Amino acid sequence: MCGIVGYVGARECTEVLLNSLSKLEYRGYDSAGIAVFEDGEIRTRKSKGKIQDLVSKMETEGRITGHCGIGHTRWATHGEPSDVNSHPHGNANVTIVHNGIIENYKKIKEFLTRKGYVFESETDTETVAKLLDCFYEGNPMQTIQRVLDEIEGSYALGIMFRDYPGRIYAVRKDSPLIVAVGENEAFIASDVPAILKYTKNYYLLEQDEIAVLDNGRVEFFDDHGAPKKKQMLVADFDEEAAKKGNYPHYMIKEIHDQPVSIKTTVTPRIVNGMPNLEECGMTYERLKNYKNIFVVACGTAMHAGLVGKYVIEKLARVSVTVDVASEFRYRDPILSKDDLVILVSQSGETADTLEAMRLAKRNGTDTLAIVNVKGSSIARDADMVIYTHAGPEISVASTKAYMVQLSVFYLIAFSLAYANGRITEEECRHLVEQLTQVPDQIEEILKTPENCQYVASQLVNADNLLYIGRGLDYALSMEGSLKLKEISYIHSESYAAGELKHGTISLVTEEMPVIAVATQRDLFEKTISNVKEVKSRGAYVVLVTHEGQEVDKEAADCIITVPSIDDLLMPMTAVVPLQLIAYYTSVLRGNDVDKPRNLAKSVTVE
């Protein structure tokens, strides 16, 4: 989704803006632009395409330079990706960058058109820029407050007024924005990696708070214009952590980060060999009182919830319902005060997940967030938070965030099963001990990627693909399938292996490779029967199972094994080859692995 940056200080600001924007590329975008105070005027350059296209355009049109400016990467919502729809928007008097959606922009546009304003772009953002211009009578703060009273929807805004060179105003509602401070310099940004090259100190802007960055100083005001004191935060990772290092792509780096991410997430939550979530407010006593659990999330985070469902239900015998957030919100879910709603989100900013949480809170239901980004909206507003400590995840295709979300679900499941007496202390300790072995097992898998590279070479020309599995393997195969389709652009579906014969098997031919996941011992033979069904219809079959499993060599064209562990924990290791297969297939197809087309890392619109 859109990325916002802004800079005020002694540095050459175009350089800073371009660098900071490049650190937000992972969010997904289709155009870029900057506006800079140059010789007392606001000058703008913008271009469809990548930041490099903007740089090339500046070579032709002339580079703008100064010490105060705002920048933007746009992910098109209202209007196609084009130069004219790109941000910044505005005129010589006021110029803005915006992330979010102004829901009542048509009404505002009509109002402004009656006043004689002419619109160039199809964007909702241009209406805000023109409304600011329309209301402006010399006092920026009052103008912004008046505009905030008029606009509906979500926004993070960076605003510059021609009359106030060297000053940026920033405000947000339901879209993320941070304000960072260095020595005599200040920044705004959609996310922390954008500022790490310059400083680690930042403030989280709250709903409808207004920040004023003036010649390197920062002041905060509430929506009535009263000054506010805020607590400064310090980023807990540095620029290196948000870099690729020697890896060719962020995705493969993040796959390799997984063992460390699991350790950092799990270790502090194990006390004397037992799971302990008390620092997050989740005591055994509290956990065992919930009647039903709902897991609500989007994309990969939802898939982590599906694994969580199997594990919690199996171990703790508490009913778990998993919903995609955009559906949960509109299906009028039956929630009670005895239930728990778990929101899972890497970014903590996903609009649908955030709204689902608000719905749960309105119903008086407890909310627990499993979130990776510190201080994000979901983390701040949930009743309880368990942070996953994956560090920054830059690749759009989520890998290490999924892995640590799984880790947290295991901790919840073990705690709950122990709390309600479904497992003994000894059994609980054993499961915890198994969980702590996972990082080493993943290290082992990563030492020999060759089999996954080989599978990728077999899949590279496929148009369609099926993933099949039963039980936990089915939940896992959904994630495998999503990973492949989002970065390789090969159409792929995940199917419950036993359901295949009720329709979908009609698609199976030699043109339809099948990846079968069979790690659950009690279901192995049943899944193998389904494997035989597809193999006998000509499909190229890859089987993922655990070491030590007796397999008829003829059953599949390629067998990938991962180290054996308790069946319940197998998704944590078995997902790794699925991630690698997706990664290598994308590489072989020459795709932009980390920034797949049309996708955004953080989806802050509904």
Q: How far apart are CA 35 and CA 49, in angstroms?
A: 17
Query: Does residue 299 touch ligand G6P according to CB under 6 A?
Result: yes
Contact code string over 391-410 relative to ligand G6P, x by CB under 6 A: -----x-x------------
Tokens of 554: 């003829």
Query: Does residue 345 touch ligand G6P according to CB under 6 A?
Result: yes
Query: Does residue 586 touch ligand G6P according to CB under 6 A?
Result: no
Min separation Cβ 565 and ligand G6P, Å: 25
User: Which residues in 130-155 are b (16+ Cβ under 10 Å) and which e?
Assistant: bbbbbbbeeebeebbbbbbeebebbb
Our CB check for ligand G6P shows the closer of 317 and 597 to be 597
Contact code string over 541-580 relative to ligand G6P, x by CB under 6 A: ----------------------------------------
Query: Does residue 351 touch ligand G6P according to CB under 6 A?
Result: no
What is the maximal distance between C-alpha atoms in the chain?
A: 80
Query: Does residue 300 touch ligand G6P according to CB under 6 A?
Result: yes
Query: Does residue 353 touch ligand G6P according to CB under 6 A?
Result: yes
Q: How far is CA 227 from CA 82, 221, 375, in A?
A: 39, 4, 22
State which amino acid sits at residue 387.
Answer: Y
Cα 49 from chain centre: 22
525's CB contacts (< 8 A; 6+ apart) are: none
From the candidates 2, 280, 298, 452, give the one annotated as an active-site residue.
2
Contact residue for ligand G6P among 125, 190, 350, 477 (CB under 6 A)? 350
Q: How far apart are CA 483 and CA 400, in angstroms?
A: 12
Rounded to 10 degrees, what is the CA torsion of 151, 157, 158, 163?
10
Contact residue for ligand G6P among 160, 170, 171, 298 (CB under 6 A)? 298
Contact residue for ligand G6P among 14, 73, 154, 347 (CB under 6 A)? 347
- Candidates 215-223, 228-236, 342-350, 493-501; binding stretch for ligand G6P (CB under 6 A): 342-350
- Candidates 233-241, 273-281, 346-354, 583-591; binding stretch for ligand G6P (CB under 6 A): 346-354
With beta carbons less than 8 A apart as the criterion, state whether 185 and 8 touch.
yes
Our CB check for ligand G6P shows the closer of 378 and 559 to be 378
Min separation Cβ 108 and ligand G6P, Å: 29
Helices and strands in the chain: count of H runs, count of E runs: 17, 27
Contact residue for ligand G6P among 46, 136, 601, 604 (CB under 6 A)? 601
Q: How far is CA 537 from CA 505, 527, 540, 587, in A?
A: 9, 16, 9, 29
Q: Which long-range contacts (CB under 8 A, 24 or more apart) does 233-238 make?
A: 233/201, 233/202, 233/203, 233/204, 233/374, 233/375, 234/200, 234/201, 234/202, 235/192, 235/196, 235/200, 235/201, 235/202, 236/374, 237/196, 237/391, 237/392, 238/196, 238/200
For residue 356, give the DSSP letter.
H
249's CB contacts (< 8 A; 6+ apart) are: 395, 583, 587, 593, 594
Min separation Cβ 388 and ligand G6P, Å: 10
Our CB check for ligand G6P shows the closer of 164 and 237 to be 237
Our CB check for ligand G6P shows the closer of 117 and 583 to be 583
Q: How far apart are CA 603 and CA 29, in angstroms?
A: 12
Our CB check for ligand G6P shows the closer of 276 and 353 to be 353
Query: Is position 601 annotated as part of the catalytic site?
Result: yes
Our CB check for ligand G6P shows the closer of 346 and 579 to be 346
From the candidates 50, 535, 595, 601, give the one annotated as an active-site residue.
601
Q: What is the DSSP string of 407-420?
A: HHHHHHHHHHHHHT
Contact residue for ligand G6P among 181, 186, 301, 369 (CB under 6 A)? 301
Q: At what angle do helices 400-419 and 250-266 cross, to 10 degrees?
A: 20
Query: Is position 280 annotated as part of the catalytic site?
Result: no
Phi, psi values for residue 461, rounded to 5°: -100, 10
Tokens of 196: 């790490």
Min separation Cβ 299 and ligand G6P, Å: 3
Q: What is the DSSP string of 73-102?
A: EE--SSS-S-TTTSSPEE-SSEEEEEEEEE
Neighbouring C-alpha atoms within 13 Å toward the C-beta of 356: 34
Query: Does residue 148 touch ligand G6P according to CB under 6 A?
Result: no
Our CB check for ligand G6P shows the closer of 95 and 350 to be 350
Give the binding-site size for ligand G6P (rule: CB under 6 A): 15
Min separation Cβ 591 and ligand G6P, Å: 15
Our CB check for ligand G6P shows the closer of 165 and 596 to be 596
Min separation Cβ 174 and ligand G6P, Å: 14
Our CB check for ligand G6P shows the closer of 255 and 396 to be 396
Query: Does residue 346 touch ligand G6P according to CB under 6 A?
Result: yes
Our CB check for ligand G6P shows the closer of 588 and 599 to be 599
Query: Does residue 602 touch ligand G6P according to CB under 6 A?
Result: yes
Min separation Cβ 601 and ligand G6P, Å: 6
- Candidates 85-93, 116-124, 131-139, 344-352; binding stretch for ligand G6P (CB under 6 A): 344-352
Residue sitting closest to ligand G6P (CB): 299
Q: Which residues bind ligand G6P (CB under 6 A)?
A: 298-301, 345-347, 350, 353, 396, 398, 599, 601-603
Residues designated as active site: 2, 601
